[in-house]
Amino acid sequence: MKHITILAPDYQTNIATVACVAGAYEIFSQANEYYKSNGGREFYVIEIAGVNNNTPLAGGLFSVRTHTLIAQVHKTNLIIIPSLASNFEKAEKSNIDLVNWIGQQYKNGSEVATMCSGAFMLASAGLLHGKNCSTHWNYADKFRSLFPDVNLQAHELITDEDGIYTNGGAYSFLNLVLYLVEKYYDRPTAIFCSKIFQIELDRQSQSPFIIFKGQKQHGDEMVKKAQAYIESQSAARISVNSLSEQFSIGRRNFDRRFIKATGNTPIEYAQRVRIERAKKSFESTRKTINEVMYEVGYADLKAFRQVFKKFTGVSPLAYRRKYNKDGKGE
Protein backbone atom coordinates (compact mmCIF):
# COMPACT_ATOMS: atom_id res chain seq x y z
CA MET A 1 0.00 0.00 0.00
CA LYS A 2 1.32 3.46 -0.89
CA HIS A 3 1.66 6.43 1.40
CA ILE A 4 1.01 10.22 1.35
CA THR A 5 2.39 12.36 4.18
CA ILE A 6 0.96 15.81 4.92
CA LEU A 7 3.31 17.79 7.16
CA ALA A 8 2.20 19.82 10.17
CA PRO A 9 5.12 22.20 10.88
CA ASP A 10 5.74 23.42 14.42
CA TYR A 11 6.82 26.96 13.48
CA GLN A 12 6.11 29.76 10.99
CA THR A 13 2.48 28.62 10.65
CA ASN A 14 -0.63 30.70 10.04
CA ILE A 15 -4.31 30.16 9.32
CA ALA A 16 -3.48 29.26 5.71
CA THR A 17 -1.34 26.41 7.09
CA VAL A 18 -4.44 25.01 8.77
CA ALA A 19 -6.44 25.27 5.55
CA CYS A 20 -3.71 23.52 3.55
CA VAL A 21 -3.39 20.62 5.99
CA ALA A 22 -7.15 20.14 6.38
CA GLY A 23 -7.95 20.69 2.69
CA ALA A 24 -5.30 18.28 1.43
CA TYR A 25 -6.32 15.62 3.92
CA GLU A 26 -10.02 15.89 3.07
CA ILE A 27 -9.58 15.88 -0.72
CA PHE A 28 -7.12 12.98 -0.77
CA SER A 29 -9.39 11.03 1.59
CA GLN A 30 -12.31 11.61 -0.78
CA ALA A 31 -10.15 10.58 -3.73
CA ASN A 32 -9.27 7.36 -1.92
CA GLU A 33 -12.90 6.49 -1.30
CA TYR A 34 -13.97 7.24 -4.88
CA TYR A 35 -11.03 5.35 -6.37
CA LYS A 36 -11.66 2.26 -4.22
CA SER A 37 -15.40 2.30 -4.97
CA ASN A 38 -14.61 2.22 -8.69
CA GLY A 39 -12.32 -0.79 -8.48
CA GLY A 40 -8.99 0.99 -7.98
CA ARG A 41 -6.38 -1.08 -6.19
CA GLU A 42 -3.44 1.23 -5.51
CA PHE A 43 -5.01 3.59 -3.00
CA TYR A 44 -3.00 5.40 -0.31
CA VAL A 45 -2.56 5.63 3.41
CA ILE A 46 -2.91 9.36 4.09
CA GLU A 47 -1.30 10.64 7.28
CA ILE A 48 -0.61 13.99 8.89
CA ALA A 49 2.89 13.90 10.37
CA GLY A 50 4.97 16.26 12.48
CA VAL A 51 7.68 16.36 15.12
CA ASN A 52 5.08 16.28 17.93
CA ASN A 53 1.89 14.32 18.52
CA ASN A 54 -0.08 17.51 19.08
CA THR A 55 1.05 20.42 16.94
CA PRO A 56 -0.10 24.01 17.56
CA LEU A 57 -0.79 26.03 14.40
CA ALA A 58 -1.36 29.75 13.74
CA GLY A 59 0.09 30.88 17.05
CA GLY A 60 -1.91 28.32 19.03
CA LEU A 61 -5.26 29.39 17.60
CA PHE A 62 -5.60 25.87 16.17
CA SER A 63 -3.88 22.58 16.80
CA VAL A 64 -3.70 19.31 14.93
CA ARG A 65 -3.29 15.84 16.41
CA THR A 66 -0.88 14.18 14.03
CA HIS A 67 -1.34 10.57 12.96
CA THR A 68 2.36 9.88 13.30
CA LEU A 69 5.77 11.43 13.87
CA ILE A 70 8.17 12.01 11.00
CA ALA A 71 10.74 9.82 12.79
CA GLN A 72 8.32 6.91 12.35
CA VAL A 73 7.81 7.52 8.61
CA HIS A 74 10.68 5.64 6.99
CA LYS A 75 9.25 5.58 3.47
CA THR A 76 6.54 7.68 1.81
CA ASN A 77 5.56 8.28 -1.80
CA LEU A 78 4.53 11.94 -1.50
CA ILE A 79 5.26 14.66 1.04
CA ILE A 80 3.04 17.74 1.15
CA ILE A 81 4.42 20.94 2.70
CA PRO A 82 1.67 23.44 3.60
CA SER A 83 1.79 27.22 3.47
CA LEU A 84 3.97 29.00 6.05
CA ALA A 85 4.00 32.40 7.71
CA SER A 86 6.07 35.28 6.32
CA ASN A 87 9.11 35.27 8.65
CA PHE A 88 10.96 33.02 6.23
CA GLU A 89 14.47 33.88 7.35
CA LYS A 90 13.90 31.72 10.45
CA ALA A 91 12.18 28.84 8.71
CA GLU A 92 15.25 26.67 8.26
CA LYS A 93 16.39 27.04 11.90
CA SER A 94 12.97 26.57 13.49
CA ASN A 95 11.95 23.64 11.31
CA ILE A 96 15.38 22.06 10.97
CA ASP A 97 14.13 18.53 11.76
CA LEU A 98 11.46 18.74 9.07
CA VAL A 99 13.90 20.25 6.57
CA ASN A 100 16.43 17.48 7.12
CA TRP A 101 13.75 14.79 6.97
CA ILE A 102 12.36 16.14 3.69
CA GLY A 103 15.83 16.17 2.14
CA GLN A 104 16.52 12.59 3.20
CA GLN A 105 13.13 11.33 2.01
CA TYR A 106 13.60 12.96 -1.40
CA LYS A 107 16.99 11.26 -1.74
CA ASN A 108 15.24 7.98 -0.93
CA GLY A 109 12.76 8.45 -3.78
CA SER A 110 9.87 10.40 -2.28
CA GLU A 111 8.20 13.14 -4.27
CA VAL A 112 7.56 16.50 -2.60
CA ALA A 113 4.82 19.08 -3.14
CA THR A 114 4.72 22.56 -1.63
CA MET A 115 1.75 24.82 -1.19
CA CYS A 116 2.12 28.59 -1.51
CA SER A 117 4.99 29.80 0.73
CA GLY A 118 5.88 26.24 1.70
CA ALA A 119 8.38 26.61 -1.16
CA PHE A 120 10.62 28.47 1.30
CA MET A 121 10.99 25.32 3.40
CA LEU A 122 11.68 23.23 0.32
CA ALA A 123 14.32 25.69 -0.87
CA SER A 124 15.86 25.62 2.62
CA ALA A 125 16.23 21.87 2.21
CA GLY A 126 18.37 22.56 -0.88
CA LEU A 127 16.03 20.68 -3.22
CA LEU A 128 15.20 23.56 -5.55
CA HIS A 129 18.72 24.48 -6.64
CA GLY A 130 18.60 25.20 -10.39
CA LYS A 131 14.95 24.09 -10.61
CA ASN A 132 11.77 25.89 -11.59
CA CYS A 133 9.51 26.83 -8.73
CA SER A 134 6.39 28.86 -7.95
CA THR A 135 5.12 30.50 -4.77
CA HIS A 136 2.68 33.24 -3.85
CA TRP A 137 3.30 36.21 -6.17
CA ASN A 138 3.36 38.50 -3.13
CA TYR A 139 6.45 36.71 -1.80
CA ALA A 140 8.34 36.58 -5.08
CA ASP A 141 10.85 39.33 -4.29
CA LYS A 142 11.61 37.89 -0.86
CA PHE A 143 12.06 34.41 -2.34
CA ARG A 144 14.44 35.65 -5.05
CA SER A 145 16.55 37.50 -2.48
CA LEU A 146 16.86 34.44 -0.22
CA PHE A 147 17.24 31.82 -2.96
CA PRO A 148 18.79 33.40 -6.07
CA ASP A 149 19.84 29.98 -7.38
CA VAL A 150 16.19 28.90 -7.86
CA ASN A 151 14.35 29.65 -11.11
CA LEU A 152 11.26 31.29 -9.66
CA GLN A 153 8.31 31.26 -12.09
CA ALA A 154 5.91 33.53 -10.20
CA HIS A 155 3.33 33.55 -13.01
CA GLU A 156 2.95 29.76 -12.96
CA LEU A 157 0.25 28.22 -10.82
CA ILE A 158 1.96 24.81 -10.69
CA THR A 159 5.46 23.59 -11.51
CA ASP A 160 6.36 19.92 -11.93
CA GLU A 161 10.03 18.94 -12.18
CA ASP A 162 12.05 15.93 -11.01
CA GLY A 163 9.41 14.76 -8.54
CA ILE A 164 8.98 18.21 -7.02
CA TYR A 165 5.71 20.11 -7.31
CA THR A 166 5.19 23.74 -6.30
CA ASN A 167 2.23 26.06 -6.60
CA GLY A 168 1.20 29.69 -6.41
CA GLY A 169 -0.48 31.58 -3.64
CA ALA A 170 -3.07 31.17 -0.94
CA TYR A 171 -6.02 28.89 -1.71
CA SER A 172 -4.71 27.90 -5.12
CA PHE A 173 -3.30 24.95 -3.16
CA LEU A 174 -6.66 23.35 -3.98
CA ASN A 175 -5.67 23.32 -7.66
CA LEU A 176 -2.38 21.66 -6.77
CA VAL A 177 -4.21 18.96 -4.82
CA LEU A 178 -6.42 18.21 -7.84
CA TYR A 179 -3.30 18.07 -10.03
CA LEU A 180 -1.76 15.55 -7.63
CA VAL A 181 -4.97 13.52 -7.42
CA GLU A 182 -4.82 13.09 -11.19
CA LYS A 183 -1.15 12.14 -11.00
CA TYR A 184 -1.55 9.66 -8.15
CA TYR A 185 -4.99 8.26 -9.01
CA ASP A 186 -6.43 9.11 -12.44
CA ARG A 187 -8.33 11.76 -14.40
CA PRO A 188 -11.84 10.52 -13.49
CA THR A 189 -10.97 10.75 -9.78
CA ALA A 190 -9.68 14.30 -10.23
CA ILE A 191 -12.86 15.27 -12.09
CA PHE A 192 -14.98 13.77 -9.33
CA CYS A 193 -13.08 15.71 -6.63
CA SER A 194 -13.31 18.87 -8.74
CA LYS A 195 -17.09 18.54 -8.80
CA ILE A 196 -17.53 17.51 -5.17
CA PHE A 197 -15.37 20.35 -3.83
CA GLN A 198 -16.28 22.78 -6.63
CA ILE A 199 -12.69 23.56 -7.57
CA GLU A 200 -11.88 24.68 -11.10
CA LEU A 201 -9.90 21.99 -12.90
CA ASP A 202 -6.76 22.60 -14.99
CA ARG A 203 -5.94 26.16 -13.89
CA GLN A 204 -2.45 26.95 -15.17
CA SER A 205 -1.60 30.52 -14.20
CA GLN A 206 -1.78 32.94 -11.29
CA SER A 207 -1.04 35.90 -13.58
CA PRO A 208 -4.60 37.35 -13.43
CA PHE A 209 -4.23 37.69 -9.65
CA ILE A 210 -0.81 39.36 -9.53
CA ILE A 211 -0.69 42.93 -8.24
CA PHE A 212 2.51 44.47 -9.58
CA LYS A 213 4.17 46.56 -6.89
CA GLY A 214 7.61 46.91 -8.43
CA GLN A 215 10.53 44.85 -7.20
CA LYS A 216 12.10 47.15 -4.59
CA GLN A 217 13.81 44.69 -2.25
CA HIS A 218 17.28 45.23 -3.63
CA GLY A 219 20.17 47.49 -2.73
CA ASP A 220 20.86 49.24 -6.03
CA GLU A 221 19.98 52.90 -5.42
CA MET A 222 20.48 53.85 -9.06
CA VAL A 223 17.93 51.26 -10.13
CA LYS A 224 15.48 52.43 -7.46
CA LYS A 225 15.70 55.97 -8.83
CA ALA A 226 15.16 54.65 -12.34
CA GLN A 227 12.12 52.68 -11.15
CA ALA A 228 10.68 55.79 -9.50
CA TYR A 229 11.15 57.75 -12.72
CA ILE A 230 9.48 55.04 -14.84
CA GLU A 231 6.55 54.90 -12.42
CA SER A 232 6.13 58.68 -12.51
CA GLN A 233 6.03 58.62 -16.31
CA SER A 234 3.73 55.64 -16.76
CA ALA A 235 1.75 57.22 -19.60
CA ALA A 236 4.78 58.57 -21.46
CA ARG A 237 7.09 56.78 -23.88
CA ILE A 238 10.29 55.86 -22.04
CA SER A 239 13.63 56.12 -23.81
CA VAL A 240 15.99 53.72 -22.08
CA ASN A 241 18.98 55.39 -23.75
CA SER A 242 17.93 58.76 -22.30
CA LEU A 243 17.28 57.15 -18.92
CA SER A 244 20.71 55.57 -18.78
CA GLU A 245 22.26 58.90 -19.75
CA GLN A 246 20.53 60.55 -16.79
CA PHE A 247 22.54 58.27 -14.52
CA SER A 248 25.76 58.63 -16.54
CA ILE A 249 25.94 54.92 -17.27
CA GLY A 250 26.18 52.99 -20.54
CA ARG A 251 23.03 51.37 -21.89
CA ARG A 252 24.29 47.79 -21.64
CA ASN A 253 25.49 48.24 -18.07
CA PHE A 254 22.24 50.01 -17.16
CA ASP A 255 20.18 47.12 -18.56
CA ARG A 256 22.35 44.57 -16.77
CA ARG A 257 21.96 46.26 -13.38
CA PHE A 258 18.23 46.80 -13.86
CA ILE A 259 17.61 43.16 -14.78
CA LYS A 260 19.73 41.92 -11.88
CA ALA A 261 17.82 44.09 -9.40
CA THR A 262 14.25 43.68 -10.65
CA GLY A 263 14.14 40.59 -12.84
CA ASN A 264 12.78 42.72 -15.69
CA THR A 265 14.34 44.76 -18.46
CA PRO A 266 13.56 48.50 -18.20
CA ILE A 267 11.06 48.16 -21.07
CA GLU A 268 9.31 45.21 -19.39
CA TYR A 269 9.18 47.14 -16.13
CA ALA A 270 7.56 50.13 -17.85
CA GLN A 271 5.07 47.78 -19.51
CA ARG A 272 4.14 46.19 -16.20
CA VAL A 273 3.64 49.61 -14.58
CA ARG A 274 1.32 50.63 -17.42
CA ILE A 275 -0.63 47.38 -17.35
CA GLU A 276 -1.11 47.60 -13.59
CA ARG A 277 -2.52 51.08 -14.03
CA ALA A 278 -4.84 49.78 -16.76
CA LYS A 279 -6.04 46.93 -14.52
CA LYS A 280 -7.01 49.36 -11.77
CA SER A 281 -8.91 51.48 -14.28
CA PHE A 282 -10.79 48.44 -15.60
CA GLU A 283 -11.66 47.41 -12.04
CA SER A 284 -12.96 50.76 -10.84
CA THR A 285 -14.22 52.82 -13.81
CA ARG A 286 -16.59 52.45 -16.75
CA LYS A 287 -14.00 53.61 -19.28
CA THR A 288 -13.81 51.81 -22.60
CA ILE A 289 -10.85 49.68 -23.66
CA ASN A 290 -9.69 52.46 -25.98
CA GLU A 291 -9.98 55.12 -23.27
CA VAL A 292 -7.88 53.09 -20.87
CA MET A 293 -5.39 52.22 -23.60
CA TYR A 294 -4.74 55.90 -24.37
CA GLU A 295 -4.70 56.76 -20.67
CA VAL A 296 -1.78 54.43 -20.00
CA GLY A 297 0.22 55.48 -23.03
CA TYR A 298 -0.67 53.03 -25.80
CA ALA A 299 -1.90 54.12 -29.22
CA ASP A 300 -2.18 50.73 -30.94
CA LEU A 301 -4.99 48.45 -29.76
CA LYS A 302 -3.33 45.25 -30.97
CA ALA A 303 -0.10 46.05 -29.14
CA PHE A 304 -2.02 46.95 -25.97
CA ARG A 305 -3.94 43.68 -26.06
CA GLN A 306 -0.77 41.66 -26.59
CA VAL A 307 1.08 43.28 -23.69
CA PHE A 308 -1.98 43.12 -21.42
CA LYS A 309 -2.43 39.39 -22.06
CA LYS A 310 1.30 38.76 -21.64
CA PHE A 311 1.17 39.95 -18.03
CA THR A 312 -2.35 38.96 -17.00
CA GLY A 313 -3.07 35.88 -19.06
CA VAL A 314 -6.38 37.32 -20.29
CA SER A 315 -7.58 40.00 -22.72
CA PRO A 316 -8.47 43.52 -21.50
CA LEU A 317 -12.15 42.85 -22.16
CA ALA A 318 -12.12 39.53 -20.29
CA TYR A 319 -10.35 41.17 -17.37
CA ARG A 320 -12.88 43.99 -17.15
CA ARG A 321 -15.79 41.55 -17.34
CA LYS A 322 -14.30 39.51 -14.51
CA TYR A 323 -13.44 42.30 -12.07
CA ASN A 324 -15.91 45.10 -12.82
CA LYS A 325 -19.55 44.31 -12.11
CA ASP A 326 -20.53 46.97 -14.67
CA GLY A 327 -18.02 45.69 -17.24
CA LYS A 328 -20.14 44.38 -20.08
CA GLY A 329 -19.31 44.47 -23.76
CA GLU A 330 -17.28 47.24 -25.36
* Within-domain flag for 329: no
Torsion of CA 98, 99, 104, 107, to 10 degrees: 130
* Within-domain flag for 253: yes
**Which one has a higher pLDDT value, 325 or 23?**
23
Are residues 7 and 126 both part of a single domain?
yes
Res 145: pLDDT: 86
Q: E strands along 58-201, which residues?
A: 62-65, 68-69, 78-81, 111-114, 132-133, 151-152, 158-161, 164-167
> Using the 8-state DSSP alphabet, how is residue 38 labeled?
T
Run of H or E residues at 212? none
pLDDT band for position 64 (cuts 50, 70, 90):
very high
Are residues 147 and 292 both part of a single domain?
no
Residues 6+ apart with CB under 8 A from 192: 31, 34
Are residues 165 and 261 both part of a single domain?
no
The lowest-confidence range among 161-175, 262-276, 315-329 is 315-329
> How many C-beta atoms lie closer than 10 Å to residue 28's C-beta?
23
pLDDT at 187 over 60: yes
* Within-domain flag for 330: no
Calculate helix-pair angle for 187-197, 173-184, nearest 10 degrees: 150
Q: Calculate mean pLDDT across residues 272-299.
A: 95
Res 196: pLDDT: 97
Res 95: pLDDT: 78
pLDDT at 205 over 60: yes
Res 94: pLDDT: 55
| pTM for the whole structure | 0.84
Q: Calculate mean pLDDT across residues 314-323.
A: 94
Res 92: pLDDT: 53
Are residues 96 and 192 both part of a single domain?
yes
pLDDT in tens, 235-261: 788 899 999 999 999 999 999 999 999
Q: How many separate domains does the chain show?
A: 2
pLDDT at 90 over 70: no
Calculate what percentage of the chain has a pLDDT beyond 90. Answer: 77
How high does pLDDT run on average in the chain? 92
* Within-domain flag for 41: yes
The parent domain of residue 289 ranges over: 221-323
Are residues 69 and 97 both part of a single domain?
yes
* 3-state secondary structure (DSSP) of residue 248: coil
pLDDT band for position 93 (cuts 50, 70, 90):
low
pLDDT at 311 over 80: yes
Res 330: pLDDT: 54
Domain CATH number, residue 307: 1.10.10.60
Are residues 194 and 283 both part of a single domain?
no
pLDDT band for position 23 (cuts 50, 70, 90):
very high
pLDDT at 295 over 70: yes
* Within-domain flag for 214: no
